[in-house]
Amino acid sequence: MLLKDKVAVISGAAGLRGIGLATARRFAEQGAKVAILDLNLEAAQTAIASLPAGPHLALVCDVTDREQCQLSAKQIVEHYGRIDVLINNAGITQPVRTLEIDPESWDRILDVNLRGVLNLSQACLPTMRSQGSGSIACMSSVSAQRGGGIFGGPHYSAAKAGVLGLAKAMAREFGPDGIRVNCVTPGLIETDITGDKLTDAMRQDILKGIPLGRLGAAGDVANAYLFLASDLSAYITGAVIDVNGGMLIHG
């Protein structure tokens, strides 16, 4: 198994159709002990109950709150003794245009999608550094690369582009400590956030620009996270893995 006895922390992983829970399941199948962090404890506990094997852990954590992130990391280390993998998966979006972005929306989108990555990484990095090993994978988006998405406004693109820069900087800084930091940039993935908002006309129009001819599934991104979490990617850091069916083929 690729993650046997590894301790993996995944933020925003309680949504039943979400990428986070799909990742938690894939990790558990591969032998990991999974800690799911989410705003909703009951939902996190339900998600944990759906995972194979164990023991797994459900914790309440608002990634925009630095103290909550620090406390969650402390509890995980007390429970398992280590942290091997961090998946910075939590995120939110808002489909508005530039002139419609108010200060509160800007702060909210940047706080969850970008500050949350910093907060949770800061909470887990000291443990990884003391171990001399660790893998962090961060959720960015094709929106950061192409300057906008279907369901995310410019502030979402800015936040996800910030994640790319932050992850690369952390990869450079913590590489000597044996810690790898990478990003995943999904295209349009059918989840609770996007799946129910697509009309048939929108779907057909989008599919014209995807060489593989289908929308992404949560499991497609979970597989990329699994690769980055495992020793299969032992010599990969500071990388960006596109998971978009070819919709953003670039040189």
Distance CA 124, CA 72 (A): 9
Instruction: Dig out the tokens for 84 from the structure.
Output: 């091997």
Residue 26 and residue 223 in contact, taking contact as beta carbons nearer than 8 Å: yes
Distance CA 122, CA 116 (A): 10
Residue 61 and residue 112 in contact, taking contact as beta carbons nearer than 8 Å: no
Q: At 220, which helix (H) or strand (E)?
A: helix 218-229
Task: Write down the number of H helices and E strands in the chain.
Answer: 9, 9
Q: Catalytic: 225?
A: no
Identify the sign of the CA torsion 122, 128, 132, 134.
Answer: negative
Residue 119 and residue 69 in contact, taking contact as beta carbons nearer than 8 Å: yes
Q: Which residues pair with 179 in a beta bridge?
A: 134
E strands present in 106-219: 134-139, 179-186, 189-190, 216-217
Distance CA 138, CA 171 (A): 11
Integer angstrom CA distances of residue 78 from 13, 75, 81, 202: 21, 5, 6, 48
Q: Which of the following is catalytic: 80, 156, 225, 235?
A: 156
**What residues are labeled active site?**
156
